[in-house]
Amino acid sequence: MIVMKFGGTSVESAAAIERVASIVKARAHRRPVVVVSAMGKTTNKLLAIASTAIDGAREEYIRQIHDLRDFHSREARLVVPLADRAELDRLLDEHFQELTELVKGLAVLGELTPRSIDAISSYGERLSSYIVSLAFRHFGMDTAHLDSRQVIVTDRRHTQAAPLYPETYARLAAVVPALAGNEAENKIVVMGGFIAATEDGVTTTLGRGGSDFTAAIVGAGIGAEEIQIWTDVDGMLTADPTILPGGHRVKTISFAEAAELAYFGAKVLHPATVVPAVEKNIPVLILNSRRPEVSGTRIVSEAVPCGNVVKSIACKRKITLVNVHSTRMLMAHGFLRRIFEVFDRHETAVDMVSTSEVSVSLTIDNTRSLAAICQELSQFSEVSIEDGQAIVCLVGDNIRYTPGVAMRVFGALDGINIRMISQGASLLNLSFVVAETDLHRTVQALHNEFFAELDAEVFDAA
């Protein structure tokens, strides 16, 4: 069995669902389990409805709900067979009636809690998985719909729930193969990503981008031979295409390298995706639903030999640099502990850290609590803030073995001011901070330096 995950852009319309059906049908002999995201921007629309409701704008949230129902009905009717239209109408009525009641309750309370955010945002995947399941029948496939909340069990941390793996794997192993049937009577199991439930059945979600995570959890739970992440790009590239178009496709990359790239801004893969796959040693493929003929990127447990030092350049924009200077001449004992306790109290994650004898520089991408953090830090230090920064991260297994990489990096960046450098925390990357206005020039210079020649076994030239 294989797991095939399709993101929101891959199921955003009737035409997109038809493409997905064609891709899945071509692989039906591999007994796929299909995991789908919400259609298009449905999750954003659901959260906008919730926000409108707590603002008390009744007519507006009713209109938004009707628009969302019309969208799902219109696209679904183009791909759902006539024989299943009654079932389609029933599930739409059922879900949107339930959604309307939930939103009315939010309007009365005037408050949006993490639990209610999970409840309302779950409707995207619940609807899309039903619609895709019905649509597959129209294209000649026998399907079985599975509500992910029956098999993905999590803790109670709403909006960022963590899976309870033993319970989840036990349920997946018991339920999914039984629904799929044997090779002679194969049914394609379709389920929604992102959504889950606590042990007592309360709806939770795995966080934004969690459909990738769902696919990996399902793959690990059923012992899949492969997990395929179908998206709208050809795979992992040597540079972020939104910053530098024309990057080369990376054919094969290790789990460790992929995780570094994901953490430092590569949008192709959710960082947590690799965890269940690594533990079960299941390859992950990144593929393009608009160009299924492209072989994509294969993510494997061990690094593959590569003639290039760097595999890819990742970037993280909208970074804030926080400089904390000790008010004593030398850094006092406990200074670092006090700094990180402040960030911990405000639940603000730190990406990079660099220290000297009397100062600490660190980067954050969430500035919601920055004013309060600075106020606390100023009680025992001097603080300065630099907005509009970007992290540039070179990732490659060969970085750990190759002398002179830093010299090549900083030689290529002649004339570009580097605000902060970090190397050594991970042997796979070299990271630094530049002004966001210098980001394109920085990536272009590094790409020219490290990808002028390509190892044909690892890269597919653009």
Give the CATH number of the domain where residue 218 resides. 3.40.1160.10
Residue 324's Cα: distance from chain center in Å? 32
Q: Where are the alpha helices (DSSP H) in 403-459?
A: 405-412, 439-450
Give this prediction's pTM: 0.86
| Helix (H) or strand (E) segment spanning residue 220 | helix 210-222
Report whether 353 contacts 360 (CB < 8 A).
yes
Q: What is the pLDDT of residues 423-445, one digit of tens each?
A: 766 678 899 999 999 999 999 99
**Per-residue confidence (pLDDT) for residue 449, from 0 to 100:** 96
Tell me, yes or no, whether 217 lies in a domain. yes
**Per-residue confidence (pLDDT) for residue 259, from 0 to 100:** 84
Tell me, yes or no, whether 59 lies in a domain. yes
Domains identified in the chain, total number: 2
Q: What is the pLDDT of residues 122-168, one digit of tens each?
A: 999 999 999 999 999 999 999 999 999 999 999 999 999 999 999 99
* Domain span holding position 220: 2-232
| Confidence check: pLDDT of 225 > 90 | yes
Instruction: Read off the CATH number of the domain in which 361 is found.
Output: 3.30.2130.10
Q: What is the pLDDT of residues 186-220, one digit of tens each?
A: 899 999 999 999 999 999 999 867 899 999 999 99
166 CB burial (10 A radius; 0-12, 13-18, 19+): exposed
CA pair distance 421, 430, nearest whole angstrom: 8
| Confidence check: pLDDT of 271 > 70 | no
Per-residue b or e along 66-103, where b marks 16 or more CB atoms closer than 10 Å to that residue's CB: eebbebbeebbeebbeeebeeebeebbeebbeebbebb
**Per-residue confidence (pLDDT) for residue 426, from 0 to 100:** 67
Find the distance separating the first CA and the last CA of the chain, reported in whole Å. 32
Domain boundary pick from 194, 217, 232 = 232
Report whether 232 contacts 7 (CB < 8 A).
yes
Tell me, yes or no, whether 289 lies in a domain. no
Domain boundary pick from 232, 249, 282 = 232
Tokens found for residue 390: 């970007």
Tell me, yes or no, whether 329 lies in a domain. yes
DSSP state for residue 232 in the 8-state scheme = S
Q: What is the pLDDT of residues 273-296, one digit of tens each?
A: 778 988 899 999 999 998 999 999
Report whether 110 contacts 160 (CB < 8 A).
no
CA pair distance 321, 185, nearest whole angstrom: 58
| Confidence check: pLDDT of 447 > 70 | yes
Q: Return the ∠ at Cα 430 (arms to 428 and 433), rounded to 5°.
A: 145
High-pLDDT (> 70) share of the chain, %? 97
Q: 203 with 320, same domain?
A: no
